[in-house]
Structure 1
């Protein structure tokens, strides 16, 4: 057990290699998630057709918003766990995960119940096409059953990364993906003893995969006696501590809003692109498919940098924090930059996966790639800066920076440049927004007050009394009359 915990210690040893080895499993988990979505889309499209694809697309948008919700609170809990683990306070690690799980299990169950009841109204709000409406309802209601399972899995995975363990989440991501993608055709068409469930079968495969994955992960945590496990008297930590829950909520809400800002900005951009016609919209859709993979190293490095910085801040190793930042920037340039160069050099075969080479959308997509894809190197640098500062509880500045770049800067540029540049104004807005974001993020890292921010849980009144009575002499509490 001691050796196992030592391997998760991010406060000692070489920084660059440790950061890379921590980020790679996180990157692997992201790739598996995307591949799972692609495989499931193939099964649905192959067996059920275009209307079913439209139905799953509407439901997946809702799932993304749910994941954005849990991302913020999970990231806040991860930072608290990382700082606690860095200072070797395993009890604080368990109190944090207990509060997070104890608060979010009832909340996710409530979301599932409300989602089941109001699913028809949600689909009406999304203007779901009439031909896909009933299919979307059948799919969405089963997906809402899976939401508590999937969100708790995400929370536990983020908690494990907080104690420096990025391999265990990868193991169980593999389990979930294999089950989900493998069971999709079984339940859709009814193979063997299973009934044909149609589109609801695709959702049922997700429910079973998440259930098995969650049970297996919890069993693994207890079998290996990992820091997140609760036993005996520690089970009382599942009753949320009010002070800790306030901290997680106060820090997690702005982090979740960052995901919402990015999502809304993407929806606005899709609306602007659609005005350019079908070929341009198709080309942009394909570019987004490829960009999903290009941005993965940046996201993985941002999570790795945040976990490593949190542990070192908790351990008081501020001398290592700036080195973590520099290593993160270097690895981002190598990893993301390498993918960008490969995509530009191999754009024809990459685009041929989605488009006919003779399609007019292919030339447009190549043009978009040349103009905009390199901005993900800057995006990765921003994720490193944001990962460092949020490891000490600074969450509002990144939110404001993202909002400014995504809306006032990007939309103003498009409005002013589009009459002269046409659609190129849309593609140029990506690197422009990334330049503004990375400059502001770098300035905040260098000159902002994030080092004075604290991701701390205020002590309860009882803890203050215990501390005062337990660490002072009676005479020392007598103050002279002024």
Structure 2
């Protein structure tokens, strides 16, 4: 069930590893999209805006969870590349303990603070109650989100990007079915959409965990390996926490932009919601190329193959650029069609027009987005997640500046420039950071090689 990414053509290896991830994350997108589509179609624009107004705060919290789990997978990928199975199992066990504790704490905090956070963001009064119901129940399912993403991260670290896809296909279909059941015949509205997501996440997490325990022989725990280890926990947190924080820091900028959009009214909120969901559908593959690079870079660093890391980054940048151009072309011709999934484009003409503008000004900057994703995840896979976190700070500062300066000055057009400004700011930081990281690791691996050679010479001389 495992796959070694330290041999073969980097371009071919990355593509083969990425395709199942892309499909899996597209199905994961359907979790949220099913809620948005069905609520928008059957509950009206106000309900759509209620769900959409929670997007940034949802990413703030759940992005932290996903970032932490992806970060925990990086030391596991490095140990797998180094063929250190004993320490690998120790890190898997400690990742599980950390996720268990973190899920309890985060669930209590977020459910308690849901309404105060939405009020602080100046969520319009006519959609506030619906937003509280939706995101409050989504946060109640955080333990299962932790469970699934931890298991999926471990599988990817071991080179298996296909199995998580199978579970996501199953549970995405279930989520859509439950959405339709709860929202239409049972008339449960926004609450029904949230419960459908929670139930689907729970099934996905439990099923994937059972499968992991039964099918991955390399993870069969030996005596003492499941105990809490301070060293393993510190190593996991040293990479996982900055990655989670990076996602949250990036999301803070999005929250501030959402606050600025909320001030513009429910129509602007609905337009940004429809456009963002449309854009997210097409940018999933870019994010997945990055996720693949984190595993690829981690395994090849464990195998001391920095030459393959560089070749892999070049291949990933090529893939990202080609896809970014293709996405721009698709959006030019199909933007209204895709937005039609979320609202009635024949009646909501103003929302559609505003959504088209938003998509245009974002899509022309997809190449910088692809570059920053490749560099950021590669740096994380090499173990320097603090640098990736600082790139998140650059994104946050750029989005905050746009929200504070450009939105009051330019109105909705200012909000359209928030993402492009953030992506360019991150690229300006990440490219030099990537070059420095590679040089630093080259020197470290060379020093380790020289020490080993010196010890071999001393050993031979003593034998002589």
Cα deviations by residue, 1:145-181 (Å, 9 ceiling, x for unpaired): 4221221111111111111111111111112212222
The Cα shift of 1:226 comes to 4.7
- Aligned-partner Cα distance in 1 for 2:77–2:189: 43
Would you say 1:323 and 2:314 are equivalent positions?
no
Q: Deviations over 1:345-380 (max 9, x none)?
A: 444544555433882444444444443312121111
Q: Which moved more, 1:425-434 or 1:398-407?
A: 425-434
RMSD over aligned CA atoms reads: 3.7
Whole-Å separation in 1 of the counterparts to 2:28 and 2:415:
28
Give the Cα–Cα distance (whole angstroms) in 1 for the partners of residues 50 and 433 of structure 2: 42
- Larger CA deviation: 258-267 vs 131-140: 131-140
Q: For residues 126 and 33 of structure 2, what CA distance do their matches in structure 1 show?
A: 23
Q: Superposition pairs for residues 193-272 of structure 1, below 5 Å?
A: 200-227=191-218, 229-231=219-221, 233=223, 236-272=224-260
Displacement of 1:126 in angstroms is 6.0
Greater CA deviation, 309-318 or 99-108?
99-108
Q: Which is bigger in relative contact order (C-alpha 8 A, separation at least 6)?
A: 2
Matches within 5 A, 1:38-437: 38-44=33-39, 56=51, 63-113=58-108, 142-187=137-182, 200-227=191-218, 229-231=219-221, 233=223, 236-273=224-261, 282-351=270-339, 353=341, 354=343, 355-356=345-346, 359-408=349-398, 411=401, 415=405, 424=413, 426-428=415-417, 430-437=419-426
How far apart, in 2, do the equivalents of 1:64 and 1:418 lie?
24
Q: Deviations over 1:377-396 (max 9, x none)?
A: 11111111112211121122
Deviates most, 29-38 or 215-224: 215-224
Structure 2 CA distance for partners of 1:454 and 1:35, relative to 1, 3 Å:
farther
Deviation of the 1:189 alpha carbon? 6.4
Q: 1:106 to 1:431 in 2, by over 3 A?
A: closer
TM (norm. structure 1) is: 0.79
Give, in whole Å, the separation in 2 of the partners of 1:130 and 1:368: 24
Separation of aligned partners in 1, 2:399 and 2:251: 16
Unaligned 5+ runs, structure 2: 445-458
SS at match of 2:296: helix
Kindly indicate whether the alpha-carbon contact (under 8 Å) linking 1:392 and 1:450 is maintained by their aligned counterparts in 2.
no
TM-score by length of 2: 0.81
State the number of aligned residues: 444
Deviations 1:242-286 (A, max 9, x none): 122122223222212221222222233334445667766554443
Distance in 2 of aligned mates of 1:385 and 1:392: 11
Pick closer, same or farther for the CA change 1:158–1:20 going to 2, 3 Å. Answer: same
Q: Which has the larger radius of gyration?
A: 1
Alpha-carbon offset, residue 40 of structure 1? 2.5
C-alpha offsets along residues 293-347 of structure 1, whole Å, 9 cap, x if unaligned? Answer: 2321221011101100100000111120110110010010112221112212444
Q: Does 1:447 align with 2:436?
A: yes
Alpha-carbon deviation of 1:24? 1.6
Distance 1:90 1:209, change over 3 A: same
